[in-house]
Amino acid sequence: MIEINHLVKNYGSKFAVDDVSFKVGEGEIVGFLGPNGAGKSTTMNILTGYLSSTSGEAKVGGIDILENPYEAKKLIGFLPEQPPLYIDMTVQEYLNFVYDIKACKLNREKHLEEIRKVTKIDDVKNRLIRNLSKGYRQRVGIAQALVGNPPVIIFDEPTVGLDPKQIIEIRNLIRSLGKNHTVVLSTHILSEVQSVCDRIIIINEGKIIADEKTENITQAVDQNRRYNVKISGPQREVLAVLGAIPGVTSVELTGERELDSYVYRLETERGVDVRKPLFYAMAEKNWPILGLEAVGMNLEEVFVRITERAGN
């Protein structure tokens, strides 16, 4: 459905996108993951025809976006990084305008109402966008991308500015859209792509550094395990005992404490589960474990891991 071949976009000597190629099949949900300034937005802007590329091609539904922008744009619903809202309009007026500009053929009332229901903005339909909160504006932006039921939907950081409950709702919405749309979304939050996408493309400094199924990336990320464990007991001795557990590569104090208990950060070898030995070791000494949590990796660490793996 989407095909990008050797896409390059440079501003003088600065390469915003540097030889990026990938394909997205029909009904796939693909996550575009990368830090700020990695080239996610630029790629999406090129794909939607807002920017042109320096070289390379971008096709949507087999139609080249530069050669036949008019037809290609009909297939795309796009939510840019900053939702393109006319703040002097009410939500309903705005969606009506989008409906007109996209030359939509569906039943106007029914279609727009459906979209408002799905994005949960029906209750604010008569309010000026100017007066809406960031979360509502974001959802109006999402609603705008859905008008006309385009087969390809592109979301640039769709959950920015939403509260946790709304984030979950939007993720569910994206998952349900994936059933009969092709969805590409960008984010810099790892857990977001893990929970929504079938496939993850990691991009950094304009280059794709990984393009894999979500499970594979999750596996790569989970191989090194770290835990924060809160233990009630004499600090120095606990440190010594923890360090002696087979599989533990390092122990350090995180600095958090509660009365006589401290939080220790454990790093463990790949493929070794230290949780049971940890429990028995502490039980033997009569030091109760008050808390144990696995610590996820942040995006930078994921990059290091993925690039390391790519190097091997």
Give the contacts of 281 (CB within 8 A, at least 6 positions apart).
241, 242, 244, 245
251-254 LR contacts (CB < 8 Å, sep 24+): 254/228
Nearer to another protein, 7 or 282 (CB): 7
Q: What amino acid is encoded at 250 in this protein?
A: S
Query: Using the rule CB under 8 A, which residue among 74, 120, 207, 305 binds another protein?
Result: 74
Site for another protein in 196-255 (CB under 8 A): none
8 A C-beta contact, residue 226 and residue 268: yes
15 binds another protein (CB under 8 A): no
Nearer to another protein, 88 or 308 (CB): 88
Q: What is the rounded CA–CA span in Å between residue 50 and residue 80? A: 10
Nearer to another protein, 78 or 264 (CB): 78
The stretch near another protein (CB under 8 A) out of 73-81, 119-127, 202-210, 255-263 is 73-81
80 binds another protein (CB under 8 A): yes
The stretch near another protein (CB under 8 A) out of 96-104, 175-183, 208-216, 301-309 is 96-104
Q: What is the rounded CA–CA span in Å between residue 271 and residue 222? A: 9
Nearer to another protein, 82 or 133 (CB): 82
Cβ atoms < 10 Å from Cβ of 302: 19
Nearer to another protein, 85 or 118 (CB): 85
103 binds another protein (CB under 8 A): yes
Query: Using the rule CB under 8 A, which residue among 50, 169, 175, 243 binds another protein?
Result: 50
Minimum separation from the CB atom of position 226 to another protein (A): 40
Nearest residue to 242 (alpha-carbon basis) of 267, 225, 223? 267
Cβ atoms < 10 Å from Cβ of 43: 30
Minimum separation from the CB atom of position 77 to another protein (A): 9
88 binds another protein (CB under 8 A): yes
> E strands of the chain, at which residues?
2-11, 14-24, 29-33, 55-60, 63-64, 76-79, 152-156, 182-187, 199-204, 207-213, 225-232, 248-258, 261-268, 289-294
Minimum separation from the CB atom of position 97 to another protein (A): 5
Site for another protein in 132-171 (CB under 8 A): 144
Q: What is the largest CA-CA distance in the chain?
A: 73
In the shown chain, the binding pattern of residues 20 to 49 toward another protein, with x for contact by CB under 8 A and - for none, equals -------------------------x--xx
Residue count at the site for another protein (CB under 8 A)? 29
Nearer to another protein, 102 or 226 (CB): 102
The stretch near another protein (CB under 8 A) out of 18-26, 100-108, 113-121, 236-244 is 100-108
Nearest residue to 312 (alpha-carbon basis) of 208, 212, 211, 220? 220
Q: Which element (helix H / strand E) includes 241?
A: helix 235-244
Residue 71 tokens, joined: 């037809």
Residue 239 tokens, joined: 């440190």
Q: Which residues bind another protein (CB under 8 A)?
A: 45, 48-52, 69-71, 73-74, 76, 78, 80, 82, 84-89, 93, 97-98, 100-103, 144
